[in-house]
Amino acid sequence: MEKQSQVVERLRSSFRSGMTIPEQFRRTQLTRLLSMIKDNEEQILNALHKDLAKPKFEAILSEIDIVINELHHAIANFKSWMQLEYVSKNLATKLDNCFVRREPLGVVLIIGPWNYPLQLLILPMVGAIAAGNCAIIKPSEVSAATDSLMAELIPKYLSQDCYAVVRGGAEETKALLQNRFDHIFYTGSQTVARSILQAASVHLTPVTLELGGKCPCFIYGRVNIEAAARRLVWAKFFNSGQSCVAPDYVLCSPAAQEALLPALRAALEDFYGKEPQTCPDLSRIVSSRHWTRLMDLLGKSSGKVVIGGESNEEDKYIAPTVVVDVAEDDALMEEEIFGPILPILTVDSLEKGIDLINRKEKPLALYVFSDESSVVNTVLEKTSSGGFCSNDGIVHMTLPSLPFGGVGASGWGSYHGRWGFETFSHRRACMLRGWALERLNSLRYPPYSEDKLSWLRWTTSAKNSCSLM
Ligand code: NAD
């Protein structure tokens, strides 16, 4: 079997040959990737069901269609993204050709997580291919069925000279990271992100980190509580809470909590029935290890379970669970929950809620539920987060025209649509000059004089900038 270093070298020599540069090559690969998803939809759905008991409905929405839409968007637009971007100039550079040229970075490494094992592997690939890179793809070993399906399908559809799947867990990934890459795109936990950064620092490799954190859902002021409960339940328990953008905890006033609880019970029963464990629309926890972590968190909490709480280890099942009387220092508030447990914290003013959010690391997403636009705008202005959505959860990330990514501890960099193309491109600053205007250019040569300096300052002044060409 080819060693990891040999795979990297093979891809590097393909990259150096320039084969990924032509627009037609990129278009063919993106089109083949689209065929890979479309031709194998059934197999993909089965793998996702094996890994997470993912309902077909959720799998189509959040794995298959999101990838298909991204591919259509990239195929339709990447030619325009590739165009040179002419920039404004000053008098001194008036006759020069000044532009930004998007160039591929080289051989990039994409490391995926297990919670959306197709989406979070293929979406970054779309950007990497569109931008003209070669790529090594490392799916998560935890979602074993999708990992193995990707390893089978990707080489069947895409150029094996330019794209390769490398499989394995932490040890294999650490070994892989010893190789030099031109970019590392990592999606996963903050803990592992630290070792990715250490490995990247050896080669000074730039990284994109798509991480997680605790996404708040702040319910405040006048609000349609039934609609809020339905949207909250959908966003939280979609994929059994194993979404990086799932609402992690709710913040609301004590009065809002009183109104919210019956609305949450009603929404949960409407969606998943009286016995959620028998409902086919609820995913399972990905592994026993992750199930145990969640049950431990719940066990350590001093809060009171008011909805759900039932679990079954063999079935890797945890009922949609709501916990109240949760303090800011509760176990459930210490780390990202990443499962079907929803703590509710009460605050008695908008400012106190904002302060609580701002005491924590900047989240990947922030949700505000309110009929009052002044409440929505105040939270938007006084906080920071990767993404922001009012009166709903998760849906902001489905638009390829919006950048997706964190800020601070929730991640570095972004992707989706053009943003993914940019992440995997180097923006090369180009100035093509001729020999004209030598007298003007001579102003900068010694012997220096006050006269030359004032002319030079005038010709290079931003006030004398000229538009584009
Ligand atoms: P993880 O960090 O355990 O694993 C992700 C990848 O890292 C896997 O491919 C795994 O094989 C590899 N890996 C594991 N240990 C490693 C090590 N020591 N060195 C190198 N590589 C290693 O993450 P996860 O449990 O798969 O995902 C859960 C986390 O990911 C959550 O925090 C969640 O919020 C975050 N997440 C973020 C996004 C996003 O888009 N921002 C999306 C999904 C998940």
| pLDDT tens sequence across 301-339 | 999 999 999 999 999 999 999 999 999 999 999 999 999
CB 268 within 8 A of CB 320: yes
Give this prediction's pTM.
0.96
The residue whose C-alpha atom lies closest to atom 13 belonging to ligand 1 is 170
Q: What is the pLDDT of residue 138?
A: 98
- CA of 241 from ligand 1 middle (Å) equals 15
Give 245-281 pLDDT, tens digit per residue. 999 999 999 999 999 999 999 999 999 999 999 999 9
* 414 pocket-lining for ligand 1 (C-beta < 6 Å): no
* 121 pocket-lining for ligand 1 (C-beta < 6 Å): no
* 178 pocket-lining for ligand 1 (C-beta < 6 Å): no
The residue whose C-alpha atom lies closest to atom 10 belonging to ligand 1 is 140
* 111 pocket-lining for ligand 1 (C-beta < 6 Å): yes
Is 244 a catalytic site residue?
yes
Residue 355 is which amino acid?
D
- CA of 210 from ligand 1 middle (Å) equals 9
Ordered domains of the chain (ranges, CATH): 4-211+414-426 (3.40.605.10), 216-397 (3.40.309.10), 435-468 (no CATH)
The low-confidence residues of the chain, meaning pLDDT below 70, are 464, 466-469
Name the active-site residue from 244, 336, 389, 422.
Answer: 244
* 185 pocket-lining for ligand 1 (C-beta < 6 Å): no
Q: What is the pLDDT of residue 468?
A: 47
Measured CA to CA, the distance from residue 189 to residue 209 in angstroms comes to 9
Is 328 a catalytic site residue?
no
Name which of 230, 249, 363, 235 is nearest 297 in CA terms.
249
